[in-house]
Structure 1
């Protein structure tokens, strides 16, 4: 697959106003979300520059997925704003949807289609022209989904669902990809293929915003990182700034802490 297939469409890459400096890929201002008395995301301010891998890490329940869901438009914030590629998510929803590709946990897929049929369906919904055939062929081949051409989505493994979800997100060559745990349940060979695909996408001008529990993947791919706990950003910066002298995993443990240890007599 070449970079033109993987990267964002050139007309979209100019931004809302070509006469101004390019807008960041994502800008969050005072973003807040509550579920009852629980504050899941607490007035987050965050700017994700264009054309890079950006990682959001944190423990379970930290607010990562809730934040990504608000960026993706799957959840409405209680307060604050979301901008994607310079477009306001509340007032310019159609432009934001054009600029975004999303792969989130829990999103359902049409179960009675093959992978190729799903990509054709997606392309037609997105208004992709006749080039959809080449894009679909390339994505299915790179992600090794062409090896099961007659298998329905309902019979896909968890890893295959991850990969077809990524292919769906890339079909319209968006400017920003929002990926929630894209490498979970993916074998190492497939993970490397996905990393290569996303690398082409970023090299072509796209931006990847991902959450992951796999610190070695984040260290290997991401240029900037935000560490979230309790709905707040504990630290943010380049990978080198955040991890300091150690590894990202060690920095994560230093900031977040470890689970309390207790001896269980009957296990000894």
Structure 2
């Protein structure tokens, strides 16, 4: 298979995204361009604005100002067309968890207008991929945290989106399933799909991503290829240098065992 070469066009282009909750500025005018065919990591400390940024960029949360464009379609001017191109694994979004795993994937495929035959075939493939075939008839409410994460990812993939936006996709997922999913995501990106991953795992981002943006306090501190952002050191070292807050301490005396 010939590896896909990203075009100049952006899969996601956001300009001046701004969001305030009460007196707190969550996202302070972020600009970010995600190239087509890239595997893009979004990293930052807790409360940095990553989830809020992705929610605004994919039409889940209306920004106070700014714009988000997915493959040339303005998310807020034409949300139906924009959202049809996105597979979204968002943090904190409730699933219809009284449905079984198979029913939930099927229902999602129906919402995207897939044919009955396509839905059946893709649902079977996704259940196998996520190692959930045995749990296909179990209500999602009875799934473990890792199983719930995997069924939500299956729903994000069912319509073969052009852009995948994944918030902590491997959290609580067992190592074997995570390795299988990584293989699928790499293949997806090398054949023209675009993946955005928000994660706290520097190892995962450095291993899988070709681009990365470091976000803190609602602003972009650095963005570009992983090699450009990390420089001569590791991505984690560069992240700590940019974000700050590292404390070298042995902890309180009462916690030490000798």
What band does the TM-score fall into relative to the shorter chain? over 0.9
Q: Structure 1 pair 247/259, CA: closer, same or farther in 2 (3 Å)? A: closer
Q: Select 1:241's aligned residue among 228, 234, 250.
A: 228
Partner of 1:101 in structure 2?
A: 87
Q: Select 1:59's aligned residue among 45, 57, 63.
A: 45
Partner of 2:129 in structure 1?
A: 142
Give CA deviations for 1:35-81 in whole Å, capped at 9, x if unaligned.
Answer: 11111111111100001210100100111111011112111111110
Partner of 1:115 in structure 2?
A: 101
3-state SS, counterpart of residue 32 of structure 2: strand
Q: Gaps (5+ residues) in structure 2?
A: 2-6
Q: Distance in 1 between matches of 2:97 and 2:237?
A: 41
Moved more, 50-59 or 144-153: 144-153
Q: CA RMSD in A?
A: 1.6
**Residue 194 (structure 1) shift:** 1.2
Partner of 1:7 in structure 2?
A: none
Question: Are the aligned partners of 2:127 and 2:136 in contact in 1 as well (CA < 8 Å)?
Answer: no
Q: Select 2:215's aligned residue among 228, 232, 236.
A: 228
Structure 1 position 183 matched with structure 2 position 203: no
Q: TM-score, normalised by structure 1?
A: 0.89
Structure 1 position 37 matched with structure 2 position 23: yes
**Residue 261 (structure 1) shift:** 5.0
Moved more, 144-153 or 46-55: 144-153
Moved more, 124-133 or 39-48: 124-133
3-state SS, counterpart of residue 233 of structure 2: coil
Q: Structure 1 pair 57/191, CA: closer, same or farther in 2 (3 Å)? A: same
3-state SS, counterpart of residue 128 of structure 1: coil
Residue pairs, 1:5-20, within 5 angstroms:
none
Q: Gaps (5+ residues) in structure 1?
A: 3-20
Q: Select 2:75's aligned residue among 89, 98, 119.
A: 89
Q: TM-score, normalised by structure 2?
A: 0.92
Q: Distance in 2 between matches of 1:63 and 1:111?
A: 27
Partner of 2:254 in structure 1?
A: 266
Q: Distance in 2 between matches of 1:22 and 1:93?
A: 23
